[in-house]
Amino acid sequence: MAAQGRKNVHGKAGVRFKAGYTKSKHENKLRTLATDLIVHERVTVTSGMVKELKSLTDHLVTLAKRGDLHARRQAAAIVRRVEIDENTLALDKLFKEIGPRYASRNGGYTRAIKAGVRRGDNAEVSIVELV
């Protein structure tokens, strides 16, 4: 029979009703993946994250194409503060390199290519890259 006292503690009954993967963890993972995609321009993810990552990255590139202060602050709320080199941040790369690169393109800034399955847990993985 399960223990009736304290919840979410390790012991005889174990952790019973604690959610392992919350919305905040999911959003943080998306933010990190979007930042990595901006820095490296290619990232490998599971197929469940592809649609959301493409949507978020396309939105960030659209903000970078606008290029005004409000768009920069909106993007800064999503992109992590990652240094590419000594004096270049991921946000700077987004607005100085990636935004002007897609100035004449209307949407479709990312491409997803299925890459098979992951060896450890047989999960389907895809490569998401900037076009």
Q: What's the CATH number where 85 sits?
A: 3.90.1030.10
Q: Which tens digit of pLDDT belongs to each residue from 11-46?
A: 666 666 666 778 999 999 999 999 999 999 999 999
Mean pLDDT of the chain: 90
The whole domain housing 115 covers 23-130
The pLDDT of residue 45: 96
In a domain, 1, yes or no: no
The pLDDT of residue 52: 96
* DSSP states of 22-41: -HHHHHHHHHHHHHHHHHHS
In a domain, 97, yes or no: yes
In a domain, 3, yes or no: no
Contacts of 98 (CB under 8 A, 6+ apart): 38, 61, 64, 130
Q: Count H helices, E strands: the chain?
A: 5, 5
> How many angstroms separate the CA atoms of 85 and 62, rounded?
24
- Considering the entire predicted model, what is its pTM? 0.83
Domains in the chain: how many in total?
1
Whether residue 49 has pLDDT greater than 90: yes
